[in-house]
Amino acid sequence: MASLHGPSQFRPRQAYTDPLLSPPPPPPPPGPAPSSPFPATPSYKARPVGPRYSQSRGKPHPPGGIKLHKGEWKLLLLVCAVAVVVRFWRLGWPDSVIFDEVHFGKFASKYVKSQYYVDVHPPLAKLLITFAAFVSGYDGNFDSKISESALYEHVPYVAMRSLPATLGVLLVPITYLTLRALDCRADTALLGSLFITFENGLLTQSRLILLDSPLLFFTALTIFFWVGFANENRAAPFTHSWWVWLTCVGLSLGAVVSCKWVGLFTIATIGLCTIRQLWVLLGDTRVSIALWIRHFLARALCLIAVPATFYMAMFELHFLILSNSGDGDGFMSAEFQHTLNGKKMADTYADVGVGSKIVMRHWNTNGGFLHSHDHSYPGGSKRASLPFSSPHANRTRRTTNHPYPHLDVNNGWRILNATWDNHSPGYDWETEPFRALADGDMIKLQHIAISKMLHSHDIRPPVSEVDFQNEVSGYGFTGFSGDANDYWVVEIAEGDRRDRASSKRVRTLRTLFKLKHALTGCYLFSHKVKLPDWGYEQQEVTCNKNAVRANSLWFIELSEHNKLPATSPKVNYRKPGFLSKFLELQQVMWTTNAGFTERHAFDCRPNTWPILRRGINFWVKDHRQIYLLGNPVVWYLSTLAVALYFFARGMLILRAKRGYKDFNNSGLVFYDNLCSFLVLGWALHYAPFFLMARQLFLHHYFPALWFAVLLSAAVYDMATSKLKPRYRVQVALVLVGLAVWTYSHFNPLVYGSVWTRGKCESSKWLKTLDFACGDFYPNVSLCQPSARRLS
């Protein structure tokens, strides 16, 4: 164990690793480097007082990056081996779908079958999982109706699980190296990495097909690269290896944000550190402005352009793979859907006139079709003395399994002339020449299948029963031409810039228009409100007197007219480029994500995370359970470390204000910088969750937890810095021993293995922890029969 803590107790630090900032590059020494007046300082107290970033300590600068002692590599290998055992132990059990595996399994099969889907997370982690499945021969036949806790059949789920598990294993050496790069001692790094190894929560999460393990891996990787870069920057900027470290930070940042948007917090962490680095550099008047700008541009290139490109490349890959229509179509705009195989539409006539047969779509809510079918509203107009079955107008909802629109006769409408009394004389489209539909024309819309007119009247709609909304229905019968409530005025809202005519008359696909009800002045309107069962959960269509603009815009997707010659101009959707597809998807992801506000049985708010108030029940079956729960020793030590930091830092600030010169102690400055960096990471990965209204779970704390665990290691480093190596190792061993003991105590909840009710009951140190003890057998002997599935 002697190799754990370096050559001597008072191992001189080469330079204080300050990941937040780097000192200015040393001025070129005008001769032999001046030897430090304080050579080989034996302890912190005797360190030179004054300049925070002394350039030389009597030895030449280290080359930057990280430096490990020779023996440490073996040690690291040993830790990795332990991690492999812990992560991969019986990875195939349970052989059923656990918790959110159901989603990610489905997404993998969507990738394999190229079916378009929409998810709130960016694609990288899912692509990695799919890749793991694909190389082990997955054919994508994961049944889309499969539910949680069902058994896997013909799915290489072990291969899929081994990807997060591998990344979970890699987290351990990265933790070790990060701590070493932060200039902590080897025993500290060992403690930190073992804490991560035996953290039950991270462990549980990395054994299942979930996104958190890739996310955590890339977060840690980014921080590791950043610390390495900061070391390099202190040694000598603009060297080859400096560029390599910086580019690695950028790529890794791109990867973390391509796993989950939580990666934005990592970007914020690195961003703040970069800003501070540049700020300090600016204060160094020896650095010329030109050199400073070079520093700035290098960082802008590698930390902004590189991650952004990486992120977009992931989406490009995503679009390339998902080339076919699938169940995610409904989230996307009509133009977007048109790019998918199976949703392509033939060209249609550009001109629309009185007498045209059309299919009309709503603009804002992803282009639902104006639809009607032969079923009447149960309330509303039935009471309003419409004595017979009146079809109601409503829109197809995305999940309604409709054939493509022009095949569904219920989406077809015919434009008829609506002139009465004093208006322009009646126009018969069947005999007279074609007349294009222009702004201000008054029309009727006749449903082709049922030949009733689109109608509105002063009756509240079935769902949105508010005074500014009117019901819209289909009305009329043979021999009755309808009344003035069928009249609608076309108001062109917006034409296409590249098609001048489209702002003067209605052109298919190019003109956005509103339909104003002639008598009541309300506008044909639709919004994301669904009709109840009797309306087949389709979207409600109403007539709104104070309509918001976006929801009252419509366009025509298909048009046909007998009078139009076959040679007349045709149009089709404009194919959106990558950028507009990318931006549209980002927006859809954002709104979907923000819409997850409903309570979940196992959600919990951020304030309960650091105290580990409750976990998540992943799986219960056959008197076994998998429950996401942290290792209380590791977890509470990390929380304690954070609390200690805030207390100590608060005291230091108060003392500094009262004139105490604590910060002249360079040892304190070292630990202050180290801990501040880790706490910054912790806070930026934790605090933003308080602002989120969506449902949150314990696993959202994991990136912050990683920082907190590192912080607890750093606190250990500081607390034991004055101990003799022997005692130091003893303290570390006690802590690791405690962590391993609690790990092994709770491991049945991780591996889904045999546990007894008594042990379970006695393990609830908080009554809010809700693992289901009632499901376990009272003693082990009873469990044997059902253990046959273990293999």
Distances (CA, A) of 57 to 39, 40, 351, 670, 694: 6, 7, 82, 15, 52
Nearer to another protein, 548 or 583 (CB): 548
- To another protein, the closest distance from the beta carbon of 352 in angstroms equals 27
Distance of alpha carbon 178 from alpha carbon 181, whole angstroms: 5
Distances (CA, A) of 720 to 6, 282, 726, 738: 14, 36, 11, 18
Distance of alpha carbon 518 from alpha carbon 488, whole angstroms: 5
Residue 659 binding another protein, by CB under 8 A: yes
Residue 2 binding another protein, by CB under 8 A: no
Stretch that binds another protein, among 152-160, 331-339, 444-452, 457-465 (CB under 8 A): 457-465
Nearer to another protein, 464 or 586 (CB): 464
Nearer to another protein, 28 or 659 (CB): 659
Distances (CA, A) of 675 to 103, 680, 681: 38, 8, 10
The site map against another protein for 417-456 (x = CB under 8 A) is ----------------------------------------
DSSP 627: E
Nearer to another protein, 413 or 525 (CB): 525
- To another protein, the closest distance from the beta carbon of 236 in angstroms equals 23
CB 515 within 8 A of CB 554: yes
Residue 282 binding another protein, by CB under 8 A: yes
Query: Among all chains, which residue has been given the structure tokens 């042990």?
Result: 759
Stretch that binds another protein, among 14-22, 188-196, 390-398, 458-466 (CB under 8 A): 458-466
DSSP string of 760-787, one letter each residue: HHHH-SSTT----GGGSBSSGGGGGGGG
DSSP string of 565-590, one letter each residue: -TTS-EE-PPPP-HHHHHHHHHHHHH
- To another protein, the closest distance from the beta carbon of 541 in angstroms equals 12
Nearer to another protein, 293 or 320 (CB): 293
- To another protein, the closest distance from the beta carbon of 468 in angstroms equals 6
Residue 466 binding another protein, by CB under 8 A: yes
- To another protein, the closest distance from the beta carbon of 611 in angstroms equals 18
Q: Name which position in 312, 436, 463, 738 contacts another protein (CB under 8 A).
A: 463
- To another protein, the closest distance from the beta carbon of 513 in angstroms equals 17
- To another protein, the closest distance from the beta carbon of 527 in angstroms equals 5
CB 298 within 8 A of CB 244: no
Nearer to another protein, 503 or 638 (CB): 503
Nearer to another protein, 553 or 642 (CB): 553
Residue 283 binding another protein, by CB under 8 A: yes
- Phi, psi (deg, nearest 5) at residue 398: -65, -30
Stretch that binds another protein, among 140-148, 241-249, 311-319, 465-473 (CB under 8 A): 465-473
Q: Name which position in 601, 661, 767, 774 contacts another protein (CB under 8 A).
A: 601
Q: Is the dihedral of CA 592, 593, 598, 603 positive or negative?
A: positive
Nearer to another protein, 344 or 600 (CB): 600
In one letter, which amino acid is 49? V
Distance of alpha carbon 554 from alpha carbon 502, whole angstroms: 14
For another protein (CB under 8 A), the number of binding residues is: 26
Stretch that binds another protein, among 56-64, 174-182, 234-242, 656-664 (CB under 8 A): 656-664
- Cis? peptide before 391, omega within 30° of 0: no
- Phi, psi (deg, nearest 5) at residue 518: -65, -40
Q: Name which position in 599, 661, 767, 788 contacts another protein (CB under 8 A).
A: 599
Host H or E run for residue 102: helix 101-113
CB 616 within 8 A of CB 699: yes
Distance of alpha carbon 116 from alpha carbon 318, whole angstroms: 9
DSSP 691: G
Tokens describing residue 663: 């910060």
Q: Name which position in 70, 497, 657, 661 contacts another protein (CB under 8 A).
A: 657
Stretch that binds another protein, among 241-249, 277-285, 582-590, 661-669 (CB under 8 A): 277-285
- Phi, psi (deg, nearest 5) at residue 611: -95, 5
The site map against another protein for 284-323 (x = CB under 8 A) is -x--------------------------------------
In one letter, which amino acid is 226? W
Distance of alpha carbon 319 from alpha carbon 313, whole angstroms: 10
- Phi, psi (deg, nearest 5) at residue 312: -70, -35
Q: Name which position in 347, 465, 662, 761 contacts another protein (CB under 8 A).
A: 465
CA 301 to chain centre: 24
Nearer to another protein, 200 or 503 (CB): 503
Distance of alpha carbon 93 from alpha carbon 354, whole angstroms: 66
- To another protein, the closest distance from the beta carbon of 588 in angstroms equals 18
Nearer to another protein, 566 or 601 (CB): 601
Positions 551 through 590 that interact with another protein (CB under 8 A): 551
- To another protein, the closest distance from the beta carbon of 368 in angstroms equals 16
Q: Name which position in 464, 608, 676, 721 contacts another protein (CB under 8 A).
A: 464
Positions 524 through 553 that interact with another protein (CB under 8 A): 525, 527, 532, 544, 546-549, 551
Q: Are strands 412-417 and 357-362 parallel, antiparallel or unpaired?
A: antiparallel
- To another protein, the closest distance from the beta carbon of 656 in angstroms equals 9
Q: Which residues contact residue 548 at a Cβ distance below 8 angstroms, ignoring those fewer than 6 apart?
A: none
- To another protein, the closest distance from the beta carbon of 688 in angstroms equals 14
Host H or E run for residue 359: strand 357-362
Host H or E run for residue 446: strand 442-447
Q: Which residues contact residue 657 at a Cβ distance below 8 angstroms, ignoring those fewer than 6 apart?
A: none
Stretch that binds another protein, among 29-37, 47-55, 361-369, 597-605 (CB under 8 A): 597-605
Nearer to another protein, 69 or 375 (CB): 375
Beta strands in 661-709 (DSSP E): none
Residue 768 binding another protein, by CB under 8 A: no
The site map against another protein for 467-486 (x = CB under 8 A) is -xx-----------------
- To another protein, the closest distance from the beta carbon of 506 in angstroms equals 23
Nearer to another protein, 381 or 469 (CB): 469
For residue 212, the SS3 value is helix
Nearer to another protein, 279 or 590 (CB): 279
Nearer to another protein, 661 or 788 (CB): 661
- To another protein, the closest distance from the beta carbon of 308 in angstroms equals 24
Assign residue 40 a region: left if phi > 0, alpha if psi is -120 to 50, beta otherwise? left
Nearer to another protein, 502 or 551 (CB): 551
Distance of alpha carbon 459 from alpha carbon 661, whole angstroms: 77
Give burial (CB, 10 Å; 0-12/13-18/19+) of 357: middle
Stretch that binds another protein, among 269-277, 611-619, 654-662, 667-675 (CB under 8 A): 654-662
- To another protein, the closest distance from the beta carbon of 491 in angstroms equals 15
- To another protein, the closest distance from the beta carbon of 401 in angstroms equals 23
Distance of alpha carbon 704 from alpha carbon 85, whole angstroms: 25
Geometric angle at alpha carbon 560, from 557 and 561, rounded to 5°: 145
Nearer to another protein, 546 or 730 (CB): 546
Host H or E run for residue 321: helix 306-321
In one letter, which amino acid is 80? C
Site of interaction with another protein (CB under 8 A): 279, 282-283, 285, 463-466, 468-469, 525, 527, 532, 544, 546-549, 551, 598-599, 601, 654, 657-659
